[in-house]
Structure 1
């Protein structure tokens, strides 16, 4: 087994375990990886020794270790956009009373890098570090507004336009129409396209070169985050904060 293959298999273990917070047995890991249990055990032993994997004493299942959190925290602290946007997120959460997100895109997916909870208890898909598809989320569509047509074609070829609800955009023509509207008005709306009953408004963040590098959103139950409320209040609020964040990153609208 080459060193490169060992690294690839080790990374595969970490990626698989990240999807199972409750952990996995070595048998299930072996099945997922299509590797012998003995091979998986050797790799797990190395990861456990270095703190990247831990084993539940009661179930015997393996899950991610504390060292993964250390690395993740270090990476997030290096993302200056989180520091720059922090005040704006809290302002929006306080003024709207809803959940506010900060996201970036990576490998044609949305990655949630910060989140400010509202005073209302609401269980949502999002959590820091989690990924989502771009075509069916407000933040995703806000990020896509900065994509070229070639990038859009690559996204569709790689990720497809999966349907999650009755309002999910599932074809290129409708997605392109939606993105044109987002560019014109400056914000995106997730019309319950990923989670039924959840509506959100999102706006892109620009860097000093005019590139869309992040997006912020306000999300909540559709009966609270109504289209009327978006037009009367939330749209202006999120545009104000997105522009301020962009300005702090050196963006000057021409």
Structure 2
């Protein structure tokens, strides 16, 4: 057996075991790989010695703790800004509008990255700036990951202050809006934070399905028309939010 072939078979074993969280018998594993049981046993023994595979009480094989150690190390080192950077630049280039990357912290939106538009625009945002969640596209996208009691706590702690005539000011309206965002996959800030500015945003998910960030495209309403926002920009931002989520290990159902 060549070294390369051994490596390939080793990864195949790990990938197959990942599909059987409760474990699988060696005979079934050998059958799926179309290999002799003795060959699979040698590979399993090596993996077991290194902690990547373990046996259950009934003799089934499953992934070992060392796989979790490696995964945790990788996930801890993932930098959302680095992973999202190329998508932000591509969105800015294609839309010719300002693109943001945001996270939530202490019930507020925090702008952590921004790619400027090459067109003239005046906006509230800058890297490190904070904003309310209920009145921004990125904030509402992030809120789709909140439980209802967390939203109630947000309203108790932060309120729903009014910024424009279109700002959401009631819990009922906010929950209704969040349901629509979950259905469509994107959020719209309909001049809810700044008059004359329209924004479209989408959530970003990590490997566990948790909403950890959001990206947005924003610009003046004469360029960010409703037709454009709900058409080409909706397609683009959902594509890139899915792309970034995938880099974080998210697998959609």
TM-score by length of 1: 0.69
Aligned to 2:214: 215
Provide the residue aligned with 1:71 in structure 2: none
CA offsets per residue over residues 116-167 of structure 1, 9 Å max, x none?
Answer: 0011121210000000000000000000011000110110000000010000
Contact 2:138 2:216 in 1 (8 A): yes
Helix, strand or coil at the partner of 1:121 = coil
Q: Which runs of 5+ in 2 are unaligned?
A: 1-76
Number of the residue aligned with 1:233: 232
Q: Counterparts of 1:138-217 in structure 2 under 5 Å?
A: 138-217=137-216
- Partner of 1:216, secondary structure, is strand
SS, match of residue 128 in structure 2:
coil
Partner of 2:80: 81
Distance 2:78 2:241 in 1: 17
CA distance in 1, matches of 2:88, 2:123: 17
In structure 1, distance between residues paired with 2:134 and 2:114: 20
RMSD over aligned CA atoms reads: 0.9
Distance 1:222 1:122 in 2: 11
1:43-87 deviation line (CA, Å, top 9, x unaligned):
xxxxxxxxxxxxxxxxxxxxxxxxxxxxxxxxxxx8700000000
Q: What CA deviation, in whole Å up to 9, does each residue of 1:19-40 have, x standing for no partner? A: xxxxxxxxxxxxxxxxxxxxxx
Cα displacement string for residues 81-111 of structure 1 (whole angstroms, at most 9, x for unaligned residues)? 0000000000000000000000000000000
Residues of 2 paired with 1:232 and 1:189: CA distance? 12
| CA distance in structure 2 between the aligned counterparts of 1:97 and 1:118, rounded to whole angstroms | 6
Structure whose alpha-carbon radius of gyration is higher: 2
Shift in Å, 1:231: 2.1
**Unmatched tracts of structure 1, length 5 or more:** 1-77
- Pairs aligned (count): 177
SS of the residue 2:152 aligns to: helix
Superposed CA offset, 1:181-234 (max 9, x none): 000000000000000000000000000000000000000001110110012210
Q: Using structure 2 for the length normalisation, give the TM-score.
A: 0.69
Query: SS of the residue aligned with 1:113?
Result: strand
Matched residue of 1:203: which SS? strand
SS in 2 for 1:147: coil
Equivalent residue number for residue 96 of structure 2 = 97
